[in-house]
Structure 1
Amino acid sequence: MDQVPSATQRVLDAAERKGVKLEVVFFDQSTHTADDAARAVGAEVGQIVKSLVFVSDDVDGLQPCLVLVSGANTVDLALLGAVLTVPRIRRATADEARELTGFSIGGIPPFGHRQQIRTVMDPDLTRYDSVWAAAGTANAVFPLPPNTLRILTGAVVTPIAAARQPQLEQEQPQGAPTNA
């Protein structure tokens, strides 16, 4: 790519200010979802960092929190609220996320935002040697070690993922005998 998008350049600059050089990979197709990104880079969905913006209301207005969660997980709002010690928390709207971070949903990076945002990181990301995160646009990602991600973001690593629901091995056809 000859010209780096300004959103991606902000991510590169933020990393460079902390002494980290990123290798951004651009794709013709979207890496908007964790599944899209995993397919594009040839990684497990769990290696994809979802950068999700949540907000709580208090006397000072909206208080944002960035949650870095494994692409294989979803966020447990009760756990997140307990970690942040806030009674009510919700996902930011697309407009709120863009206003708070300076990036659109699908391309929100873990750092390089227009303001400092309290950040929480899913410990499941630390199981991998390398994880992939959005680089400011819906078709650009970069790899980095989870510990580097933690350092760049100042994230607190704590369980925030919802419990996984067990999946049935195989659905029984209607009327088939069961092992009861």
Structure 2
Amino acid sequence: MMRPASSDGAMRVQSVLGEAFRVLEFEDSTHSSAEAAAAVGCDLARIAKSMLFKTADGRPVLVVASGANRVDEKKVAGLVGQKISRADPGFVLEKTGFAVGAVPPVGHTVAPVVFLDRDLKLFPTIWAAGGSTKSVFELTPSDLGRLTGAEFADVAK
């Protein structure tokens, strides 16, 4: 069962997104891409999963990828120009203010460097994390580019 956002994290995301989007919360978890796809009732590929990485010099890098894809860390490192590693939960919370599984793709408030999986452009609409491990919101790939200020790139294995 879905309902309008009410948790603190989801309400924070709703306030950043404004009236143009509607953050929805579910009874069940949307923490993983598979859980989000099941809750929404869409194909796994239409889930825009947010993954945070850490550069060798300690900067956060957000990659928003199709739920069906694995992120190729070597490709992302090439885009950044230095080695990266997957961020641990403490780093994710410290840099974004959100727990793993809840990080929304809302631009430079999350990370100064953002890359978007070009495969997300294959769909008219996609679903992204909404600030809690039980919330998501629907948007277009164009909306995602505008909200993040990022370009689409080849980041998938």
TM-score when normalising by structure 2: 0.92
What are the residue-to-residue correspondences of 1:4-15 with 2, within 5 Å? 4-15=6-17
- Structure 1 residues 39 and 3, CA gap change in structure 2 (3 angstroms): closer
Aligned-residue offset at 1:117: 2.5
Tell me whether 1:85 sits opposite 2:81 in the alignment. Answer: yes
Number of matched pairs: 155
Tell me whether 1:148 sits opposite 2:143 in the alignment. Answer: yes
- Structure 1 residues 120 and 3, CA gap change in structure 2 (3 angstroms): closer
- What is the rounded CA distance, in whole Å, between the counterparts of 1:121 and 1:3 in structure 2? 25
- Structure 1 residues 2 and 12, CA gap change in structure 2 (3 angstroms): closer
SS of 1:54's partner is strand
Identity %: 35
User: Which protein is bigger by CA-based radius of gyration?
Assistant: 1
Tell me whether 1:34 sits opposite 2:33 in the alignment. Answer: yes
User: Could you tell me whether the CA contact under 8 Å between 2:5 and 2:11 is conserved in 1?
Assistant: no
SS of 1:4's partner is coil
- Structure 1 residues 3 and 123, CA gap change in structure 2 (3 angstroms): closer
Amino acid at match of 1:83: L
Q: Which residue of 1 aligns with 2:129?
A: 134
User: Could you tell me whether the CA contact under 8 Å between 2:6 and 2:25 is conserved in 1?
Assistant: no
Aligned-residue offset at 1:103: 0.1
Stretches of 4+ moved more than 4 A in 1? 112-116
Bigger fraction of residues in strand: 2
- What is the rounded CA distance, in whole Å, between the counterparts of 2:116 and 2:5 in structure 1? 31
- What is the rounded CA distance, in whole Å, between the counterparts of 1:2 and 1:150 in structure 2? 24
- What is the rounded CA distance, in whole Å, between the counterparts of 1:2 and 1:129 in structure 2? 22
TM-score when normalising by structure 1: 0.81
SS of 1:29's partner is coil
